[in-house]
Amino acid sequence: MEFIPGNPAFINKQAASPEKAKFLVVPVPYERTTSYYKGAEKGPTAIIEASPQVELWDEELKREVWQDGIYTTAPLDCGGSEEEFFTRLEKTVGDILDSTKALPVFLGGEHSITQGLIPSFARRHRDLSILHFDAHADLRLSYFGSRHSHACAVYPASRTNKTVQVGIRSVGSEEKQFVNAGKVKTFFMHENRDMRKLEEAVLKELSGTVYMTVDVDGFDPSVMPGTGTPQPGGFGWYEGLHLLKTVCENKNIVGADIVEVSPLKGSPITEFNAAKLAYRLMGYIGSGK
């Protein structure tokens, strides 16, 4: 497929071409089903605009991650009906995976986009498992009449692929039947405060090949205040990063998304932190297995 470059580019460093990049940043400004605080469609642009404020030299990794090569595409087309969008999104992801070896990092947008992202990875990796970093289980079959709701984000994938949930502290009565059942392993936040034990357990549950979906509300609201459905008691910054780093060091990460940034007027905290998270995650992946 033809990649149209985004302007501005993530971290203000555009690789010469997607073929020469290690990472492909793909904005997906989709918002259709948010049920509380609105603004997720503005998340990708806000993250990219904040990203030049992230120092190029990563103080933890002791290197400039951008030198691996980061190519930022123009935002994907999010128009049409729900069915049209998700059909087009799934096809686009397949085209991306066929066209470049760069690892895609998708920036949402509401969490429902994950439904259209994972299938193409699952078809290419028979042993694919999913690390689901979130405050919410997102296992509803439908929500307010939509099976593509943000509240249903990982339900389809969880029917076919091992799905390991961390940070969970909000479960609806209609989805509790899917928690810790079938292919789903759920680590409730209040039951897993020992981070070392949690990381060891997560590694045991995941397969060797992993797709990461990171809803920023998996972090405590003090870290990511600008999000659609905040919940108290999530991961601190360093707790969350260490868990993600541990997975990257031990598993083959093939793709990732960061979703549910809803910028708050007058406060750049969430979009800046999400930009630093994306940059750090690329560094973990580039340095990992």
3-state helix, strand, coil in the chain (%, to 5): 40, 20, 40
Classify burial at 112, counting beta carbons within 10 Å of its beta carbon; exposed 0-12, middle 13-18, buried 19 or more: buried
Give the three-class secondary structure for 179: coil
- Cα dihedral value 182, 188, 191, 193, nearest 10: 130
Q: How far apart are CA 257 and CA 167, in angstroms?
A: 16
Mean pLDDT for 66-80 is 97
Q: What does DSSP assign to residue 233?
A: S
At 1 the pLDDT is: 87
User: Are the CB atoms for 168 and 186 separated by under 8 Å?
Assistant: yes
User: Are the CB atoms for 226 and 217 separated by under 8 Å?
Assistant: no
At 73 the pLDDT is: 98
First to last CA, the chain: 28
φ and ψ of 193, to 5 deg: -90, -15
b (16+ CB within 10 A) / e for 173-186: eebeebbeeeebbb
Report cis status (omega within 30 of 0) of the bond before 109: yes
pLDDT (tens digit, 9 = 90+) per residue, 254-284?
999 999 999 999 999 999 999 999 999 999 9
Strand order in the sheet with 23-28: 70-72, 23-28, 103-108, 252-259, 209-215, 128-133, 163-168, 184-188
What tokens were used for 36?
């509380």
Would you list the domain boundaries of the chain? 10-287
pLDDT at 98 over 80: yes
At 2 the pLDDT is: 87
Give the CATH number of domain 10-287. 3.40.800.10
At 104 the pLDDT is: 98
Q: How confident is the model at residue 287 (pLDDT cuts 50, 70, 90)?
A: very high
Q: How far apart are CA 41 and CA 107, in angstroms?
A: 10
pLDDT (tens digit, 9 = 90+) per residue, 203-258?
999 999 999 999 999 999 999 999 999 999 999 999 999 999 999 999 999 999 99
User: Are the CB atoms for 121 and 202 separated by under 8 Å?
Assistant: no
User: Are the CB atoms for 48 and 10 separated by under 8 Å?
Assistant: yes
Q: How far apart are CA 37 and CA 8, in angstroms?
A: 26
Q: How confident is the model at residue 289 (pLDDT cuts 50, 70, 90)?
A: low
pLDDT (tens digit, 9 = 90+) per residue, 156-214?
999 999 999 999 999 999 999 999 999 999 999 999 999 999 999 999 999 999 999 99
How many CB atoms within 10 Å of residue 36? 10
Q: How far apart are CA 213 and CA 258, in angstroms?
A: 6
Classify burial at 99, counting beta carbons within 10 Å of its beta carbon; exposed 0-12, middle 13-18, buried 19 or more: middle
pLDDT (tens digit, 9 = 90+) per residue, 9-51?
999 999 999 999 999 999 999 999 998 999 999 999 999 999 9
